[in-house]
Structure 1
Amino acid sequence: MKKFNRASKIKKSTVVLASTTALLLGLAACSGDSGSEGGSTDGGGSTGGDSEETGDDLFSIDDFDVIKGENGEEMIEGGSLNVALVTDTPFEGTLNPNFYQGTFDKQVIDWFNENLLAVDENFTYTQEGAATFEINDDGDVFTFTINENLNWHDGEPVTAEDWVFAFEVLGHPDYPATRFSEASNVQGFNEFRAGDADDISGLNIIDEKTLEITFTEASPSLLASGVWDYPMPKHIFEDIEVADMESSPEVRENPIGYGAFKVESVTPGEAVVYSKNEDYWRGEPNLDEVILSVVNPQTISQSLQNGEVDIAVYPADQYADNYERLTNVEFLGITDLAYTYIGFQMGTWEDNQNVFDEDKAVSDINLRKAMAYAVDNQGVAENFYDGLRWGANTLLAPSHPDYYDESIEGYTQDIDEANRILDEAGYEDVDGDGFREDPNGEELVLNFASMSGGDTAEPIATYYMQAWEDVGINVQLLDGRLQEFNTFYDRLEAADQEIDVYQGAWGVGSDVDPTGLWGSSAAYNYTRWTDERNDELLAQGVSEEALDIERRQEIYKEWQEYMVEQVPAFPTLYRSELTAVNNRVVNFAPFRASGTEVYLNELGVTADSAETAN
């Protein structure tokens, strides 16, 4: 594997072991180069590379294959596969697509359930999924036909009524989760949710396997994950109160789907055992069994080396130190549909609406801009991720190249500008303690929420706080510690008023539309910031005028620029996603890789046990 030289890069291991002071000096020395660029090579091999890590090189996501194909050996019949869920916390265990919140539950679900609709490499719906569709001339009515061979794991057919039932659950007043917004484009859904209608007028069951959906208007988003395509088995859930579904055994202990594997047992928060679904609509799976277990990020490399794990989404911050010794695995790589960001919590969540509070300290745009200018995200990327993450400039990700605008400057470190903004806005160090008071002369202390996980979580959080201290802003860790994953998101979801600033991550999904994170009514808008112009631009991006791709590009360029100007949050890093796959595994592609046409029933192994690197 080829790596790309950055003369200013400091060896990551030195940084991690250094004192905080040395860490900060190292980051300050980093250049502001934007991202890792270069031509593709052979995509690596089983080791993922063949050149020595010198501390002066960066890797490139372009050098990784997306698919783990044949390995020259014959696939055996059956076999058991060991999959790692790489996290330092238990998974929540909300194992239903209509209720889950966290990424780890989604990884558990992906092994036993799937979307009805398939997408191509551009994230556009195709006719290759478990449901096909026709569209009317106006583009606002879709007729979906569910595959005749698609059955739930208990043998009952997946029906149009199941699909309607899912919409009715999402719109129920007792629905406890946040995915209702993803169904709000269906005609009559909002009226049903508000209690003004007894049913959802845009849903019309034609027959057992055919559902007609009328949308509020034609939109480019409808063909890119704009349809809620996870039915719920009505025969299982219809006698359970909606308020109780999320905590029910049917979600927590015995979840059901229609994917290539079915759940045999769940050890809460720790492990799931799956068996093959012989009735899978694409054909009987090759594997007999998949065992998914939680593995701590600190031990995942050793588990892979020992052959205890066959497949794992691998921490990018560990790759440079371990890829040469992991000769028994191949690393697959994709540009992640996600980014990390620093958000400012500016309000509350009341009656399913964000309520902006102009009196919160971080509601001052000058303070937010200064904090954005104070940090060196590219330095963080190079020192901790070796080019496998890179400094971000806008709140759209490069995973959507038709809309992401790399020409927008965004916020790169500029200490002088940060200090100028603060000085002019009246933030002064009144008492001489090194920290600025607010414009009213009152003490200013901000609470920073950041997640635990991996070796770099604490030093990166420490860096950000020190960078803000360097311009006179006193930022302290919330509760004096990093927050465990589930606690972190529980507190953000509740708009905990102890939080002022947080470091979050957002998966952007197949459609470029960012309303789900930044809309005024979006539950995932943890900043709780609301803005009329923002909502106007977001609405234009999914309107009929945006069916013209050039017009949609113009809208999202303006939106990206506007969000840089308003800075309710600022992006920190774009990300690659690496997946380590044992050499015995064949026919596998990461779940978040689009359009590969590699399916779980084709997954197999060429040996009874995993290869080791010992």
Structure 2
Amino acid sequence: MKKWYKLLGLTAAAALALVACGTTSDETADSSSASGESSTEGEATAPELSTTVDNEGDAIDGGTLQVGLVTDTPFQGIFSWEYYEDAYDAEIMQFAFDSLFGTDENFQIDDSGKATVELDQEAKKATITLKEGLKWSDGDDLTAEDVVFPYEVIGSPDYTGVRYDSTFMNIVGMEEYHNGEADTISGITIVDDLTVEIQYIEVGPSMLQAGGGIWSYAMPKHYLSDVPVADLASSEKIRSTPVGDGPFRITKVTPGESVEFEANENYWLGTPKLDNVVLEVVPSSSIVAALENGTYDIALSMPTDQYESYAELPGYSLLGRDELSYTYIGFKLGKWDAEAGEVVPDENAKMADKSLRQAMGYALDNNAVAERFYNGLRSNANTVIPPVFGSFGATTEEVPGYTYDPDKANQLLDDAGYADTDGDGLREDPDGEKLTINFASMEGGETAEPIAQYYIQSWNEIGLDVQLTDGRLLEFNSFYDRVQADDENIDIYQAAWGTGTDPAPNGLYGRNAEFNFSRWATEENDNFMADFTSAEAFDAEFQQNTFIEWQKYFSEEAPVIPTLFRTEVLPVNNRVKHYDFGYDAPADFGWHSVELTADAPVTE
């Protein structure tokens, strides 16, 4: 289970199909869907997908699991929880790296993992205790030093990743360490080889969530400490020969293309039953044919816009679950100040007027998109808290979100002074100056281009001149590099977030979060972020009210417009004896327990 924020690609996580499945990419949606009339004629029913599969047959000894990773771009290959940034690397790492903590059905830390957490609210202290006998994949002991090492890396002044945020600043002595004023983090104490104590400025309920206020991963200090922190992300020890604590160890990396694994006999839950795992990148246009030919046992990041083409795939069971993610339209509202470690809003930014942002939200008919072109595997997103988090997410009665209402969109623009002053059918800004909005969207299968063009058409219909950045779709890695760098040629962008297992939004929308790509911050939002992590939030009523009220505020301010929630689909070959895709899978279940019943994937 991944427990941190992930950048998602459109094919893997956020493709909005304005093309009926099975048609060519240049066939756009019919006039009713393009105009947003949410007709229910021919509406797809959501498929009923199980989270588990059990196949008959005796298990063979060992064997190799063949895995396809569906992406139209090479993976980055940053095999470190402290440095990785996108979902593709996270998909790869799940075979070779573990979390320290186990979780229950609500994603709260329990005693089923490598380590336990005891949180002392009064003393504002967390005690992390490792179980005995833990080892890294190279046979070295996993100790308290490895628990502390990620804090030393992420907090270092030389850290080049994006995870130094308010959760780390909340540790006593961390800011002094990060600023180079101290050689150690005063609030972190190694009690013994198995025990670490961390002193916090404030404690809150997110510390009980996996991926919340307590870092969930260890880092092999014995292996990495000789590499300068500034060089870690690009080092061979992370890119090519990483040491992990998961069920398999990486033995070969073909950059951007494939990764080979072998069983890790040092795994804490026992030697895996498989001998090897081989993972290969597969383009979205080829994955269905590859599965039909029995090339892979499992396909990760399976494109749901192609669902009809593999719904009855011989030799496979299709598993499904709600994703911890959402698609959104983001608006650039400022810059990231790396030295200060915070976003700096610009009141003069092109998209600074929230009426403009709201109007662009009301111009889109995501409800029709979800209903008519996704076989029930997408749903209109009213908020940025996915429904898998239950009552933390606002209902549509509490937060309606943005549904198609062109009249309201036009009225908002009229009232805000965006008028067509030269008669060309396109609105100028309130100062009468030409308004061109640069829209960044990424490549991703056959649907990416028609989706982007649909959005542009929808905004054009309310009088906005929106153009693709550089006049084309951007490659996945380039897209996120430019969004993160606050490229001046990007005013708005279409992207997606994998949220991790903590519903608190501080890591994505806090002032000190580098992942806050819209670069939006207000004092009122700062207060909400503080409330999420405060001791007062241990009170269930206060916590619930904070979540709902923040979502109301966030929706009104619209620094991003959430568009779709999703269900993810996982094809599993019939030679896989048992697999559990559910978030509530038994604590001792994982890749180490997977068995095969034949020497190669079957096609019937």
What is the TM-score when the length of structure 1 is the normalising length?
A: 0.91
- Equivalent positions of 1:191-590 (< 5 A) are 191-225=176-210, 226=212, 227-313=214-300, 314-324=302-312, 326-350=313-337, 351=339, 352-406=341-395, 407=397, 408-590=399-581
Assess if the C-alpha contact under 8 Å between 1:32 and 1:378 holds in 2.
no
- Where does the alignment leave 5 or more consecutive residues of structure 2 unmatched? 1-16
Assess if the C-alpha contact under 8 Å between 1:141 and 1:212 holds in 2.
yes
The structural deviation recorded for 1:587 is 2.9
The structural deviation recorded for 1:529 is 1.1
Q: Deviations over 1:71-117 (max 9, x none)?
A: 12111110001111110000001111111111111111111001010
Assess if the C-alpha contact under 8 Å between 1:339 and 1:571 holds in 2.
yes
Structure-2 separation of matches of 1:546 and 1:27: 44
- Where does the alignment leave 5 or more consecutive residues of structure 1 unmatched? 1-8, 34-53
Assess if the C-alpha contact under 8 Å between 2:25 and 2:450 holds in 1.
no
Partner of 1:94: 78
- Equivalent positions of 1:83-232 (< 5 A) are 83-136=67-120, 138=122, 140-181=124-165, 182-225=167-210, 226=212, 227-232=214-219
The structural deviation recorded for 1:29 is 5.0
Structure-1 separation of matches of 2:299 and 2:130: 32
Partner of 2:14: none
Find the residue that maps to 2:392 and give its secondary structure.
coil
Name which of structure 1's ranges 178-187 and 126-135 shifts more when overlaid on structure 2.
Answer: 178-187
Structure-1 separation of matches of 2:291 and 2:142: 38
Structure-2 separation of matches of 1:142 and 1:595: 27
Partner of 2:12: none
Is residue 12 of structure 2 the alignment partner of residue 12 of structure 1? Answer: no
Point out which structure has higher relative CO (alpha carbons under 8 A, 6+ apart): 2
Assess if the C-alpha contact under 8 Å between 2:33 and 2:369 holds in 1.
no
Amino acid at match of 1:593: Y
The structural deviation recorded for 1:135 is 3.3
Structure-2 separation of matches of 1:135 and 1:10: 48
Structure-2 separation of matches of 1:98 and 1:418: 42
The structural deviation recorded for 1:139 is 6.8
Amino acid at match of 1:486: N
Assess if the C-alpha contact under 8 Å between 1:389 and 1:574 holds in 2.
yes
Amino acid at match of 2:33: G
Partner of 1:43: none
Amino acid at match of 1:332: L
Amino acid at match of 2:573: N
RMSD of equivalent CA atoms? 1.9
Q: Could you say if the C-alpha distance between residues 358 and 233 of structure 1 is closer, same or farther in structure 2, counting changes exceeding 3 Å?
A: same
Structure-2 separation of matches of 1:512 and 1:540: 13
Assess if the C-alpha contact under 8 Å between 1:384 and 1:456 holds in 2.
no
The structural deviation recorded for 1:10 is 9.8
Find the residue that maps to 1:401 and give its secondary structure.
helix
Q: Deviations over 1:268-294 (max 9, x none)?
A: 010000000012110111000000000
Q: Which runs of 4+ in 1 moved over 6 A?
A: none
Find the residue that maps to 2:601 and give its secondary structure.
coil
Amino acid at match of 2:388: S
Amino acid at match of 1:290: V
Amino acid at match of 1:515: N
Q: Deviations over 1:235-274 (max 9, x none)?
A: 1111111111111100111011011000000000100000
Structure-1 separation of matches of 2:305 and 2:18: 14
Partner of 1:51: none
The structural deviation recorded for 1:30 is 4.3
The structural deviation recorded for 1:586 is 2.5
The structural deviation recorded for 1:11 is 8.4
Q: Deviations over 1:113-133 (max 9, x none)?
A: 010101111100010101123
Partner of 1:41: none
Structure-1 separation of matches of 2:39 and 2:179: 49
The structural deviation recorded for 1:137 is 5.8
Find the residue that maps to 1:400 and give its secondary structure.
helix
Q: 1:609 aligns with which of 578, 588, 600?
A: 600
Q: Deviations over 1:8-60 (max 9, x none)?
A: x998248766644x545324354288xxxxxxxxxxxxxxxxxxxx9542214
Assess if the C-alpha contact under 8 Å between 1:301 and 1:322 holds in 2.
yes
Q: 2:52 aligns with which of 53, 67, 72?
A: 67
What is the TM-score when the length of structure 2 is the normalising length?
A: 0.92
User: How many matched pairs?
Assistant: 579
Q: Could you say if the C-alpha distance between residues 539 and 24 of structure 1 is closer, same or farther in structure 2, counting changes exceeding 3 Å?
A: farther
Structure-2 separation of matches of 1:87 and 1:253: 20
Amino acid at match of 2:287: I
Structure-1 separation of matches of 2:103 and 2:169: 21
Amino acid at match of 1:323: A
Find the residue that maps to 1:448 and give its secondary structure.
strand
Assess if the C-alpha contact under 8 Å between 1:10 and 1:55 holds in 2.
no
